[in-house]
Chain A
């Protein structure tokens, strides 16, 4: 019963309120005569074969459409093994290892088969486990969606809940407010009388404003559960396709055919808003639904370092082939000329592998042997180690307590772990706006009424500037960051500023309302000089909107469902001022007014005569109403420029003051709207209304134009009342984060679907733009040209705009001058074309900040691609909505904000964070670390494998190139898998050049990544050279020491096993000492792994020596090498000889050419930061890159401005210029 009561309240004819968008298509009636729309003619033809029998499972079943079960997993239980294995061996490296493993089963192989197959199985198994785990997560996610419940018609007018996955085509469902649609539905009826409903398509296109959908008139009576008892209809429509905005189909109901269009279709994953419930018929289920058809497989991304690593692998492979060829030629020569003489090999009984009569053939066989033998140059364990390290690094990112958001309970998530190090090399960040930078929540902050500015609350920029000024104008060296660090970010205690008064701590207790000014609160406004204008101002706020109130029955408080968050903020503001809008009927708006605190409340009813809606073209909204006295009023709010153009001569009283205030608000990063009114007399209104009604009921394409023209007629001669300033609530810490990212040398582009004005406002709010910045706005002038001509003209005009912009930048002399590029979507469409994109990019690079507005999802991706390919540097895209998916997938790194709405962006992303501000820590701390770790790790890996692999090659030259290895098979197997892998993994996981606080304090350190200081060719070749040197030292020193002499007092000489084991001991020592020298951060884990590896070697050789498998290595340590002093002496000598050059290098580098992190390490080590705090602070402030954008730059500019003013007044203060 309660529901039906509520339902009556909801039943309003919205079409009467709205003028523009709620116009009902006429062809619904014309449909009586058969299909009428163009597309419907194709129904039943190819591509339009779908038939839906509504509410008739018996007929529907045989058609066998897919169920509503969705799966986004790559594998299932049966396909996992074959598919995952196939995936693994698509990697060239793995294929190579597979090939060698297969060959190891033949006599060609120099090793035992198990020593080739075991590591491969380990590597592949580990990777497959990772794949399986990731797929399992996807499966769990799918199951969550599949098991959501929806109310479905069971028959006989009864509805019951069912899992989403059990939903079938043709089912009638009932979706309640704030639920997601489980499949693509045909809207039959809604809780509103005229069958409309509001839909939020955030998940599909990222737009937060609500869209209106409406049902066919013929299905309107199906408004209750019972009415579906005998409901039968047939839908014939298009086949599943990915186009979100089109739909063609016919609806056959009660022996009549009606055409369907997209406005009746509710898409899966969009949300029902502001509507109590709807009934709908399922048309497309599961993977047939449009949103699933749209989902593309996310491209696999690889980091720059990994790509370069591939190149190095190719180089090493070339070396490998080269030495193999040398080896096999040597072998063939030996076979041909020497083998016949080597009677002890019984050459007469030789097989084809070493046949002196066919040396070429033997040589070719030997090539394969050699390729396998020297395979240690290409580290099989590199891939698995990197994989493991990255997973552990990702785990640390996930576990970082500083990236945990208390509000949403989300941690940062590294969704793909193979891009960790890329985070340390980002050059450009492309950011979405709504939901990423802003919360999409508006706060009413200031207003200007009758030329007086009210509201003492300050925006964040003003707060910081005031603090800076107060803290001592002379001491400019104290960076702004200290202010943030010393205070808790939200609670900035403020002293009286210079030019503006600042209130106490801002503690916005009411959502959407941060206004503070006692002149207007608690009814004090009645004492103000212009109280009548103020009254009017408040009435406009309370009346000029399209929102509906929603009373919380439990508490009695009112919430507003508004189309835009601005409007919601206005209504909350009006309520706080004592003008509570509480009820809306078909024709009236009811407001409870309470003028002074002593007075009681009065309920007033305003009759709404007309409502001229807001749209982006009109940029204003008007409501015409009649008050209780019968006076007809027109209230209009809109963009200042639009309103000022339409002011009456006597309405410009406050224009000058208001304009000044608007500029101030704009500078403070606020969104502004101007409010105005007009009093209409009865006759003027009725004559206009007649014309308006005529336009409204007119049929034809020019209806919109007609309406617009008629609207123009009445929206003039306005009287300005004032202006509002609303703060688009930025997410917590966004300006600071942008500031610090800019200081770390990152470029930030904002790509937003918003209109230009909003985008610019947000640019101001998050300090990407500031007053005094030269703005270059690129847009296409709206002309009346013929379509084809228009394109050409537009292009030419854009070209000249870009050229002018570039010219302007070039001619600029002032080094402090900053440029901002603002481009609008239409212009961007042209600018992204091949012939213009480079010019555009060049201009954009020159500008300190770039804002693209009205950008479609596709354009976002295209811009990302342009930046990625044009600059050739790493790009990072961050966004939260489904409209950012393209961008996220296109960028080198995609970061999804796991905010309130939707999961699409997160699902497509590589990393997800819950707040934009965490990006700083993700990049500057984790990115920096991961980059250095991976770079060092890969370099070391190549070093160690070259040092080891080449000794095998040298030995060949001494063994007649026969393919004999000096080491035992097991040593070689364990070298990569056990003996040297853990130290390098601990390097990759735990190494820190500086602590996380220092990373944050010295953003300049981040530049080591984008400049690629740790993985450039100089460094890579240096490490390879080191490897080459080490291999030579290890091999020849050992050879000379163990050449032919006795190694014991007992007289026994060293055999091959002894030499090999001694040499191997030296290798283990040398490479582990090397990594110890490389590390700068030893926790107990590194100690354990490095020294443990060496110990493991001795333990292994002891244990191995106990088994007879070890052949000549039996008891080698206990009996042969252990008692021989020369063995220990050799180990010491070779280890020292191998590491001295590197030690010289790092000692010299540190003393003469120290890198930034070296100096900082020293400062920290000597505790200079504690002793000399001024130096420490000074360096910290210098470590920030000079930025032209961001909070700091903005505050600097503001301070300059204020000081400039002061300077004019009195000479005591000097202008401090920032050099």
Chain B
């Protein structure tokens, strides 16, 4: 081959191949914030948000919620901590509540604890998911510090601070002096029961040490059926939290008398935390939550206002789209006429 020709070929082969991609000429949509788009965007957001706000607000308003704080009234004023730490005294405490409104079943029963840092890093870390799940993972306890071994040196199942500090107040509820059943099944997430807590893992060595944290577990029932433990093990995001205790599956009428016998076992007094019993109905939105409705209404209202604002703005300071007099070089000449 002629060398000149070869050179020519190599020159040609160097030539970038034309494609819309390499030449940065891909077809593109170039949305533009025209006044009509701005106004209709705000209008649309407003129109969308206000009904959502109203809907969730009304859903929230329908919910009947009964909150009763009992930590102060169920202990003697003098030595709260001493009282609660004494294992021998009877800690039952009877409270009577009046239901303000008709509560439709199912009625959720929660316990609410305040100032309890379930989200503390030392606390959150202290558990062994493998141990909870697998029968032969009893020894996988390295994350459970400082609650690892029982008094006899054998590993605790379930180990770790979270399980150890299991909530142990109990509530017995009667309506109009007639005891009603509190259903404690199905309070945990189904997947937790099925997959995260083994049905062949049984508690062992639990609460056997020198320090007793909270509730004890029946060693003949597998972990997957200790739903109160499963709920407890889902650590809360904030230091004040509610956890599901059980459900009442009958309606409670307005002005019904609720009598609750509380076994006030759980020590929130050392750290000055609060405890409360909550009964609440639910709707599609969950529990009573006015905030989201209000927030939606606020944002929606604000957007409607903005839509109005921009309408006014475009009327006061109209600018034809693509008006060249707004180009910088044209504006300069306004400033310095020559």
Q: In the complex the two chains form, what is the Cα distance from A69 to B308 in whole Å?
A: 76
The answer to whether A1159 and B292 touch across the interface, beta carbons within 8 angstroms, is: no
Judged by a CB distance under 8 angstroms, whether A211 is at the interface is no
Pick the contact of A1045 from B32, B38, B145, B287 — CB < 8 Å?
B287
B234 contacts A1112, C-beta separation under 8 Å? yes
Indicate whether A1056 sits within 8 Å of B237 (C-beta atoms), given known contacts A1108-B196, A1115-B189: yes
CB < 8 Å: which of A990, A1083, A1126, A1147 contacts B292? Answer: A1126
In the assembly, what is the distance between CA of A510 and CA of B272, in Å? 101
A1126-B289 contact, Cβ under 8 Å, with A1140-B303, A1151-B313, A1156-B327: yes
B56 within 8 A of A: yes
Question: Does chain A have a CB within 8 A of B335?
Answer: no
Q: Given A958-B238, A1114-B191, does the pair A1046, B310 have CB atoms closer than 8 Å?
A: no
Verify if A1119 is at the interface (C-beta below 8 Å from B): yes
Stretch at the interface among A32-40, A405-413, A547-555: A405-413
**CA–CA, A1051 to B26, complex, Å?**
51
Q: Chain A residues near B110 (CB, 8 Å)?
A: 1051, 1053
- Nearest Cβ in chain B — how far from A1187, in angstroms? 13
The interface bits of chain B over 307-331 (1 if a CB of A lies within 8 angstroms of the residue's CB, else 0) are 0001001100101011110111110
Which of A163-171, A343-351, A840-848, A935-943 makes up part of the contact surface? A343-351
Q: A1004-B328, A1115-B189, A1154-B319 are in contact. Are A1041 and B12 (CB under 8 A)?
A: no
A1083-B189 in contact given A344-B123, A959-B117, A1059-B237 (Cβ < 8 Å): no
Which residues of B lie under 8 Å from residue A1165 when comparing CB positions?
Answer: 30, 32, 34, 321-322
**CB within 8 A of B296: which of A962, A990, A1108, A1133?**
A1133
Picked from B121, B196, B289, the residue with its CB within 8 Å of the CB of A1041 is B289
Given contacts A349-B146, A1055-B237, A1114-B191, contact A960 B117 (CB under 8 A): yes
Q: At the interface, yes or no: B334 with Cβ under 8 Å from chain A?
A: no
Which chain A residues border B145 with CB–CB below 8 Å? 349, 351
Knowing A1055-B234, A1147-B310, A1183-B329, say if A343 contacts B119 (CB, 8 Å).
no
Q: What is the number of residues of chain B that contact chain A, defined by CB distance less than 8 Å?
A: 107
- Please give the distance in Å from A609's CB to the nearest CB on chain B: 44
A411 CB contact (under 8 Å) in B16, B186, B236, B239: B16
**A805 CB within 8 Å of chain B:** no
Contacts of B38 in A (CB 8 A): 1143, 1147, 1151
Residues of A within 8 A of B192 (CB): 1114
- Judge whether A1085 is part of the interface by a CB distance below 8 angstroms: yes
Q: Which of B72-80, B172-180, B240-248 has 4 or more CB atoms under 8 Å from chain A?
A: B240-248
Given contacts A404-B16, A1053-B241, A1114-B191, contact A959 B289 (CB under 8 A): no
B284 touching A1125 by the CB < 8 A rule?
A: yes
- How far, in Å, is A931 (CB) from chain B's closest CB? 15
B140 within 8 A of A: no
A1025-1054 interface (Cβ within 8 A of B): 1037, 1039-1054
Q: Which of B273-325 contact A (CB under 8 A)?
A: 280, 282-289, 291-292, 295-296, 299, 302-303, 306, 310, 313-314, 317, 319, 321-324
Residues of B within 8 A of A1084 (CB): 26
Q: Report whether A1162 and B22 are in contact in the complex, using a CB–CB cutoff of 8 Å.
A: no
Asked if B10 is an interface residue, CB under 8 A from chain A, the answer is: yes
Residue-wise, chain A 1142-1170 has the 8 Å CB interface mask toward B (1 for contact) of 01101110111011100111111110100
Contact partners of A1085 in chain B: CB under 8 A = 26
A410–B299 contact, CB under 8 A?
A: no
Whether A409 pairs with B14 at a CB distance below 8 angstroms is: yes
Whether A960 and B120, one on each chain, are in contact in the complex, defined by CB atoms closer than 8 angstroms, is yes
Instruction: Verify A1053–B10 contact, CB threshold 8 A.
Output: no
A1136 interface hit (Cβ, 8 Å):
yes
Is the CB of B270 closer than 8 A to any CB of chain A? yes
Decide if A354 is an interface residue (CB 8 Å cutoff): yes
Q: Residue A1046 contacts which of B236, B282, B319, B338 (CB distance < 8 angstroms)?
A: B282
Which of B165, B188, B296 is the one whose CB lies under 8 Å from A1129?
B296
Q: Which of B23, B133, B239, B267 contacts A1108 (CB 8 A)?
A: B133
Given that A1045-B287, A1046-B286 are contacting pairs, would A962 and B324 also be in contact in the complex, using a CB cutoff of 8 Å? no
Given A1041-B292, A1125-B284, A1163-B247 contact (CB < 8 Å):
no
Task: Verify A1050–B282 contact, CB threshold 8 A.
Answer: yes
List CB contacts (< 8 Å) of A236-252 with chain B: none
- Complex alpha-carbon distance, A958 and B164, angstroms: 23
Q: Is B150 an interface residue (CB 8 A)?
A: no
Question: Does A300 sit within 8 A of B, measured CB to CB?
Answer: no
16 of the cross-chain contacts (CB-CB < 8 Å) are A346-B146, A396-B24, A398-B16, A408-B11, A959-B117, A1041-B292, A1044-B238, A1051-B247, A1051-B280, A1055-B234, A1082-B29, A1129-B292, A1140-B303, A1147-B310, A1166-B321, A1175-B324
A-B contact sample (6 more), CB < 8 A, given A351-B145, A1055-B235, A1114-B195? A343-B267, A1046-B108, A1126-B292, A1133-B299, A1156-B328, A1159-B327
Q: Which 8 A-B pairs have the closest CB atoms?
A: A409-B11, A1045-B287, A1051-B108, A1046-B287, A349-B146, A1162-B322, A1055-B234, A1163-B322
